[in-house]
Structure 1
Amino acid sequence: MNSPKHREPPTEIRSRSRFGAQASVAVLAILLAGCSFSDLKPQSKMLPPGDVSESLANSGITLSPAAWPAENWWTSFNDTQLDTLVEEALAGSPTLRSAAARVRQAGALEDIEGASLLPHVDAAMSTIRERFSANGTTPAPAKGTWQNVHQTTLNVGYELDFWGKIRSAVEAAVGRRHALEVDERAAALMLSASIVQTYIALQETHEQLDVAQALLDQQQQIVKLTEQRFAAELGTQIDIKQSQASLPASRANIAALKEEIELNQNKLASLLGKGPDRGRLIARPHMQASNTVALPSHIPAELVGHRPDVVAQRWRVEASGHEIDVAKARFYPNVNLTSFIGLQSLAFDTFNDHSSRILGFSPAISLPIFEGGRLRGNLEAQDAAYDVAVENYNQTVIDALRDIADQLSSLRWLKERLAQQNEAVDTAQAAADLVNKRYAAGLATYLQVLATENATLTQKRQLVALQSRALSLQANLSRALGGGYRPEIPATAEATPTVADKS
């Protein structure tokens, strides 16, 4: 006789059926959520720096794999006062302190995001004076009476990060913090570059003042010579007046140059974060241009690791990619676990009794079903923000390469310009010396002296300007190459794939 088959109780069968149905609904909801945004993707791609172009390689500058600037690149000008000024500015500039504060702020926001990965625990205590309904669920003797309800609870909550929403938000905050850290380094580079350029302008003004003072001395010698010629009846009163007429203009030019010196000193003091009195203590610069300039042999390929502005934009792309992951995870269910334990009593004298304890546990799942397109709109906005970050990065790379190419183009032609200008100064000076001798011998007119004098002044001014440009280009090349920056860069700037991406 066959034994009867074992049959599960109907309640267990119904329970399994309900669980299976619920699981099927949950899986279907997840699949539908993934399909609801599968058509939304960023459109921009990061521009990979190419190989060194011929225009860079054939710049006439020595190529070297180790020619990236040193971190203290300004010391190459061999001016100890400049070294002191830059170090003073980097230590006390309000601009850099403000940048450091933004980094601390970003670090605090990162901590706030990271706190969501951990359970949150809080305690609450309350005493409520309450009248209970006589027709409600409150049993006698409390129903229909006023009572004091004393309650204290310890509450614990935790969100299960199944879809990586919280982790992606933390990574986005990390990327933003890194970007601001690099911005701080970029600000330091721009500050040091501004100090160096202003210092170069101060030196040029001093040198122009030397030229103007030498011209005034020469003009005063010519006035004396003209007076001697007049006494010897070799000249006229007109010659004396003509020679004297040039003196006020030269003195006015000297006054303007002294004004410019003080303005540059004021600017340097401001860059140091100090008042004008600090600028008056800055002595005449004595910078020296380098005779040789070396260029890294692989500029585009390594530029991402040396320019702080490029690195900062790369970190912003990284952060935007994680923000996309956050937006995608919002399409999926949120799973929260909450629980509490505590004491509740109508009478204070029984508050600490074991029978007054309360305990609860509440898992909660929420799934967006209809939200009017808000989640799709949010994801589209994050995709667009990622595209903006990528294109900003691309433009920064392009601008950086153009910046370097500009310095190389100028450096390539500067050597020839300096050689030609030195020759022009020598020729003009020789002509002026010859005319002055002929004028002293009565064989030349004052107009000839004035013409050669103006020509010599013009050529000397241009030579001083070119020598200052050599210093400026040396500083600009160091800045364009990143100023010795060696950053930490993200391994990839693409959005990190998560469960949301795989759906």
Structure 2
Amino acid sequence: MRSSPRFLMLGAALALAGCNMAPRYVRPGLPVPPETPRGEAYGPGDPAAAPVDLAATAWTEFFAEPRLREVIGLALANNRDLRLALARVEQARAQYRVQRADIFPTLGADAGATFQKSPLGAGSAGGAQGAVTGRADIYSASLGVSAWEVDLFGRLRNLTEAAQEQFLAADENRKAAQVALVAEVATAWLTLAADHDRLTIAGMTVQAYGETVALNEARFKAGVASELDVRQARTGLDQARADKAALTTQVAQDRNALELLAGTPIEDRLLPDTLPARGVTIERLPGDLPSEILLRRPDIAAAEHQLIAANANIGAARAAFFPRISLTVALGTISLGLSNLFQNGSETWSVAPSANLPIFDFGRNAGNLAYARATREAMLAQYEKTVQTAFREVADALARRGTIDEQLAAQVSLEDNARTAFRLSDARFRAGVEPYLTTLDAQRTYYAAQQSLVGTLLVRAGNAVELYRATGGGLAP
């Protein structure tokens, strides 16, 4: 009876001391330059600003606008895509626990009873034959391990490692989904603000064109202006009216899109009525970043976990070529009566090791190994492509960051000059010095400059959000 635990201990020691047939994992080098690009397009940046690690509260530090922060909080609490990503993490966690359990023996208890009646002997007396029968009641109880695989060659450990890496990849994907959601909500909020400004400009332009049409109609009736002036003024009015109607629809759709991201209706007090020129995000952002910053991105971390899982699966596929050793152990008691079941002398134990060695499987194991190796190559290519894509996204965001201030200054100057030109042209037209066509052209230029300025302000604010997303979750103020 004492020998049975020794077999269990021996089996456990063999399993723990077994070899690992997976290739040694080495993180691949980054297939990108050591630093982000430099040049005229990228600008000097702010050397005092440094990137920080992704953290649960990083977005609260990056986004400074209180209303936007509250909307982002609503989205993180209610967005269904994020809930789906969280559920997938729990699925992967459960699968890892199931796979990990195979490493350890499953302990089970068994109890039973057998009641039987059978002949015990036969004889003859006075020429007559007779039989003596007896009854036996057999009771048993046992505790043991059934068909526990002793993992000498690391098959189960590699499968467990692969499941663990899949779980970690799912968790990184959840983080990536959170970063993307924060960026999408911020972009949608800023787009709504910009379209509000465009709608306001269109409404003011409709009013201005309406006054001009009325003036030209009055001048036409007085014989001072031609019908051409009236028609030209009406074309400008109609275009502004069409823009106003389209922008009214766009604002409503922007709000619908924002509420879909938030996963819940948003109160009016949290919605922007104009696009802030400053203060939406932190202002100091770096211009030069080392490529190692990319490793902070959750999608790259997820890709690496997938690569490690594929590497572990090679070890499991290799182990399939070697014997699979199983151990069945039972420790219990048996007696002819229930009252004697746990008496001294009723003990029983059994140990049944077994081994299975594949000899000829028509190439199944070889095919599985080839598949595992090909999967690792695919995961390696996916990892490198993810790194290269991230490098481009960061470089693109920095390129926009390097020139956006100059572009914005030019747009501000353009809008100011266009406004002044329109004011002077309108005054000369009302004084009868210039034809209306010159004023109409100046008014259209001013209207377009106003809309372009709003678009540039949106690009500037959106660039900071894109830099937040591309670097994987936030920059320090």
**TM-score, normalized by length of structure 2?**
0.80
**In 2: Cα distance, 1:133 partner to 1:398 partner:** 83
**In 1: Cα distance, 2:374 partner to 2:119 partner:** 56
* Corresponding residue for residue 73 of structure 2: 87
Match of 1:60 among 29, 36, 43: 43
**CA deviation digits over 1:167-209, x for unaligned, max 9?**
2222222211111111000000111111111112111101111
- Segments of 5+ residues of structure 2 without an aligned counterpart are 1-18, 121-130
Shift of 1:483: 1.4
Counterpart secondary structure, 2:286: strand
Counterpart secondary structure, 2:433: coil
* Corresponding residue for residue 204 of structure 1: 194
Work out whether residues 269 and 279 of structure 1, in 8 Å CA contact, stay in contact via their aligned partners in 2. Answer: no
Work out whether residues 68 and 186 of structure 2, in 8 Å CA contact, stay in contact via their aligned partners in 1. Answer: yes
Counterpart secondary structure, 1:384: helix
The aligned amino acid for 2:170 is L
The reply on whether 1:421 has 2:407 as its aligned counterpart is: no
**In 2: Cα distance, 1:365 partner to 1:76 partner:** 60
- Segments of 5+ residues of structure 1 without an aligned counterpart are 1-32, 135-141, 487-503
**In 2: Cα distance, 1:49 partner to 1:375 partner:** 37
> Is the alpha carbon distance of 1:256 and 1:382 closer, same or farther for their aligned partners in structure 2, counting shifts above 3 Å?
same
Work out whether residues 313 and 389 of structure 1, in 8 Å CA contact, stay in contact via their aligned partners in 2. Answer: yes
Counterpart secondary structure, 2:38: helix
The aligned amino acid for 1:78 is A
Work out whether residues 68 and 296 of structure 1, in 8 Å CA contact, stay in contact via their aligned partners in 2. Answer: no
Match of 1:450 among 429, 432, 440: 440
Shift of 1:116: 2.3
Work out whether residues 343 and 356 of structure 1, in 8 Å CA contact, stay in contact via their aligned partners in 2. Answer: yes
Shift of 1:480: 0.7
Counterpart secondary structure, 1:360: strand
> Is the alpha carbon distance of 1:285 and 1:338 closer, same or farther for their aligned partners in structure 2, counting shifts above 3 Å?
farther
Work out whether residues 158 and 313 of structure 2, in 8 Å CA contact, stay in contact via their aligned partners in 1. Answer: yes
* Corresponding residue for residue 463 of structure 2: 473
The aligned amino acid for 1:430 is T
Greater shift, 92-101 or 278-287, is seen at 278-287
Shift of 1:426: 2.6
Work out whether residues 41 and 383 of structure 1, in 8 Å CA contact, stay in contact via their aligned partners in 2. Answer: no
**In 2: Cα distance, 1:111 partner to 1:442 partner:** 86
Work out whether residues 43 and 403 of structure 2, in 8 Å CA contact, stay in contact via their aligned partners in 1. Answer: no
* Correspondence 1:320-399 to 2 at 5 A: 320-343=310-333, 358-399=348-389
* Corresponding residue for residue 119 of structure 1: 105
* Corresponding residue for residue 160 of structure 1: 150
Work out whether residues 44 and 288 of structure 2, in 8 Å CA contact, stay in contact via their aligned partners in 1. Answer: no
Shift of 1:162: 2.2
Work out whether residues 59 and 409 of structure 1, in 8 Å CA contact, stay in contact via their aligned partners in 2. Answer: yes
Shift of 1:338: 1.5
The aligned amino acid for 1:359 is W
* Correspondence 1:173-252 to 2 at 5 A: 173-227=163-217, 229-230=219-220, 233-236=223-226, 239-240=229-230, 242-244=232-234, 246-252=236-242
Work out whether residues 200 and 472 of structure 1, in 8 Å CA contact, stay in contact via their aligned partners in 2. Answer: yes
* Correspondence 1:265-276 to 2 at 5 A: 265-275=255-265
**CA deviation digits over 1:398-426, x for unaligned, max 9?**
00111111112222332332233233223
* Corresponding residue for residue 107 of structure 1: 93
Greater shift, 343-352 or 234-243, is seen at 343-352
The aligned amino acid for 2:165 is G
Shift of 1:75: 5.4
**In 2: Cα distance, 1:328 partner to 1:133 partner:** 56
The aligned amino acid for 1:427 is N
* Corresponding residue for residue 13 of structure 2: none
**How many residue pairs align between the two structures?**
441
**In 1: Cα distance, 2:458 partner to 2:447 partner:** 17
The aligned amino acid for 1:84 is E
Match of 1:308 among 298, 311, 319: 298
**In 1: Cα distance, 2:49 partner to 2:355 partner:** 58
Shift of 1:110: 1.5
* Corresponding residue for residue 64 of structure 2: 78
**In 2: Cα distance, 1:65 partner to 1:322 partner:** 42
Shift of 1:365: 2.4
Identical residues among aligned pairs (%): 27
Greater shift, 174-183 or 251-260, is seen at 251-260
Over the residues paired in the alignment, what is the CA RMSD in angstroms?
3.7
The aligned amino acid for 1:391 is A
* Corresponding residue for residue 8 of structure 2: none
Work out whether residues 79 and 286 of structure 1, in 8 Å CA contact, stay in contact via their aligned partners in 2. Answer: no
**In 2: Cα distance, 1:66 partner to 1:249 partner:** 45
* Corresponding residue for residue 299 of structure 1: 290
**In 2: Cα distance, 1:224 partner to 1:123 partner:** 97
* Corresponding residue for residue 4 of structure 2: none
Greater shift, 357-366 or 450-459, is seen at 357-366
**TM-score, normalized by length of structure 1?**
0.76
Work out whether residues 156 and 340 of structure 1, in 8 Å CA contact, stay in contact via their aligned partners in 2. Answer: yes
The aligned amino acid for 1:52 is E
Greater shift, 169-178 or 362-371, is seen at 362-371
**CA deviation digits over 1:208-229, x for unaligned, max 9?**
1122122122213323433554
Counterpart secondary structure, 1:107: helix
Work out whether residues 216 and 250 of structure 1, in 8 Å CA contact, stay in contact via their aligned partners in 2. Answer: yes
